[in-house]
């Protein structure tokens, strides 16, 4: 249970809100690279952290991300001409470059200096893994982009989907820090179906519906260790990682990082990024089937307003929910809690130890940032690379062994 004040701290991310300002100190996914496929192509609207922005791919291939409304008289730059490394407003032709500078004001007389006096909000971007990451904080605090192991993988070793979630982003994050729900929300009654469609280990989480959570604080955030008993007296251990400020690394069909990026306080984008460090991901394992459930506007076909297309017959004899695909099942769980769940009326059990730890970690981070401390896990020196132990995995641990002996790179740092 959380106080109303802490609930607000945990869920509010507009400019000026402590968590909002903290998130702005990190690189976060803003859109997919595929939304701006062509140089000088159409700009797209991007709404992030309560801000209205537009993104565009400039003539030189870089992605610009600027505030949506023209500095002159606020016409939307979504309609702008994307030409010669900048956006030109269609009302009076003011042109803005990728840094937000006004580079042309054709309706002003020669000698006008108005363009030197104003500047459009513009955020730096970096592309990685099919996503465009943005840094929305103060320019002088811009960190290096994290040295993710997957950063330079070929396209066939990665995949990514983006989908809209109609609730506060924290509800999405909490779902990821909650291993117990795998055995219920995502269960399928026929284990042969599970074996055929998921990884070989998935059946193991049906052996023990009440995992015990261990957790440890690390330099990147919080590592969560969910341990289930196996039939031979050993254990099945699933390790996921909460990475500041809004990502959870989790083992799905492949290793995945799920980012929950606030659009505003009542909606967020869910980016599901998957990768294989060694080889191409076979077609049937790309996207985890999610791509078939998401429309071109990034909304899921199954939504709260159509009851997630629930099939009550299938709920009796097919799967636990009667709803298809993890993505929709997760959305059902998170969105039906309401746009911003009231955590003062919850009754947490032992299975919630993971999300309780992550909440506490975030609240401490937000409060110390609010009190003037620098944010944790922000790379100021590009040669710093402490990302090798930021990982996710699952292992069957025989009696007498520990998971850490089997995954030594996940150090306690
Ligand atoms: S409103 Fe954009 S140039 Fe006038
Ligand atoms: Fe889930």
189: domain CATH number? 3.90.380.10
Ligand of minimum distance to the alpha carbon of 240: 2
Ligand 1 pocket: which of 67, 68, 70 to mutate (most atoms within 8 A of CB): 70
Ligand 2 (ion): which residues have CB within 5 A?
Answer: 330
Provide the number of structural domains found in the chain. Answer: 2
Distance from the first to the final alpha carbon of the chain = 29
User: Per-residue confidence of the chain (413 residues) as pLDDT tens digits?
Assistant: 899 999 999 999 999 999 999 999 999 999 999 999 999 999 999 999 999 999 999 999 999 999 999 999 999 999 999 999 999 999 999 999 999 999 999 999 999 999 999 999 999 999 999 999 999 999 999 999 988 889 889 999 999 999 999 999 999 999 999 988 988 998 888 777 766 766 656 667 777 888 899 999 998 999 999 999 888 888 999 999 999 999 999 998 899 999 999 999 999 999 999 999 999 999 888 888 899 999 999 999 999 999 999 999 999 998 999 999 999 999 999 999 999 999 999 999 999 999 999 999 999 999 999 999 999 888 877 666 667 788 999 999 999 899 999 999 898 77
- Residue 4 is assigned to a structural domain of this protein: no
User: Are residues 280 and 208 located together in one domain of the fold?
Assistant: yes
Q: Clarify whether residues 197 and 102 are in a common domain.
A: no
Token pair for 164: 């809209």
Chosen domain end from 112, 141, 170: 141
Cβ of 154: how many Cβ atoms within 10 Å?
Answer: 7
For residue 105, which atom of ligand 1 is closest to its CA? 3
Pocket test for ligand 1, best of 89, 95, 115 (most atoms within 8 A of CB): 89
Residue 2 lies in a domain: no
Contacts of residue 258, Cβ cutoff 8 Å, sequence gap at least 6: 172, 176, 247, 248, 249, 250, 270, 271, 272, 273
Domain boundary among 107, 141, 175: 141
Q: Is the peptide bond before 245 cis (omega within 30 degrees of 0)?
A: yes
Global confidence as pTM: 0.95
| DSSP code per residue over 122-135 | B--EEEETTEEEEE
Question: Residues 407, 395: contact at Cβ < 8 Å?
Answer: yes
Same domain, 116 and 164: no
- Whether 73 and 208 map to the same domain: the answer is no
Question: Are residues 245 and 171 part of one domain?
Answer: yes
Task: Confirm whether 305 is domain-assigned.
Answer: yes
Residue 372 domain flag? yes
Parent domain of 53: 27-141
């Amino acid at each position: 249970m959380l106080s109303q004040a802490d609930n607000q701290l945990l869920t509010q991310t507009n400019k000026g809100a402590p968590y909002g300002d903290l998130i702005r100190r990190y690189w976060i996914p803003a859109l997919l690279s595929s939304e701006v496929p062509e140089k000088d192509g159409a700009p797209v609207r991007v709404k992030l952290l309560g801000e209205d922005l537009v993104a565009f791919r400039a003539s030189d291939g870089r992605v610009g991300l600027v505030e949506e409304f023209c500095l002159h008289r606020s016409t939307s730059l979504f309609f702008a001409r994307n030409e010669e490394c900048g956006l030109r407003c269609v009302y009076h032709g003011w042109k803005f470059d990728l840094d937000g500078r006004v580079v042309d004001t054709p309706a002003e007389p020669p000698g006008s200096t108005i363009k030197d006096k104003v500047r459009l909000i513009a955020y730096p971007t970096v592309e990685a893994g099919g996503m465009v990451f943005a840094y929305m904080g103060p320019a002088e605090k811009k960190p290096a982009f994290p040295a993710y192991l997957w950063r330079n993988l070929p396209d066939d070793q990665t995949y990514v989907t983006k989908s809209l979630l109609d609730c506060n982003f924290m509800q999405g994050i909490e779902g990821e820090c909650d291993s117990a729900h795998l055995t219920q929300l995502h269960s399928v009654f026929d284990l042969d179906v599970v074996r055929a469609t998921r990884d070989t280990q998935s059946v193991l989480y049906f052996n023990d519906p009440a995992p015990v959570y261990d957790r440890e604080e690390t330099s990147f955030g919080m590592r969560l260790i969910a341990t289930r008993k196996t039939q031979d007296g050993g254990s099945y251990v699933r390790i996921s990682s909460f990475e500041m400020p809004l990502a959870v690394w989790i083992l799905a069909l492949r290793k995945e990082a799920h980012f929950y990026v606030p659009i505003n306080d009542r909606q967020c984008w869910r980016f599901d990024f998957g990768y294989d460090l060694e080889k191409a991901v076979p077609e049937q394992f790309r996207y985890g089937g999610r791509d078939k459930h998401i429309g071109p506007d990034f909304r899921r076909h199954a939504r709260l307003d159509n009851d997630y297309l629930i099939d009550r017959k299938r709920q009796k004899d097919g799967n636990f929910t009667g709803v298809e695909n993890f993505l929709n099942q997760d959305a059902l769980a998170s969105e039906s809690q309401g746009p911003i769940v009231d955590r003062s009326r919850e009754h947490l059990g032992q299975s919630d130890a993971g999300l309780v730890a992550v909440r506490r970690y975030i609240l401490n981070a937000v409060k110390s940032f609010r009190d003037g401390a620098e944010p944790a896990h922000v790379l100021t020196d590009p040669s710093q690379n402490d990302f090798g132990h930021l990982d996710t995995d699952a292992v069957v641990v025989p009696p007498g062994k520990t998971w850490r002996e089997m995954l030594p790179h996940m150090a306690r740092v």
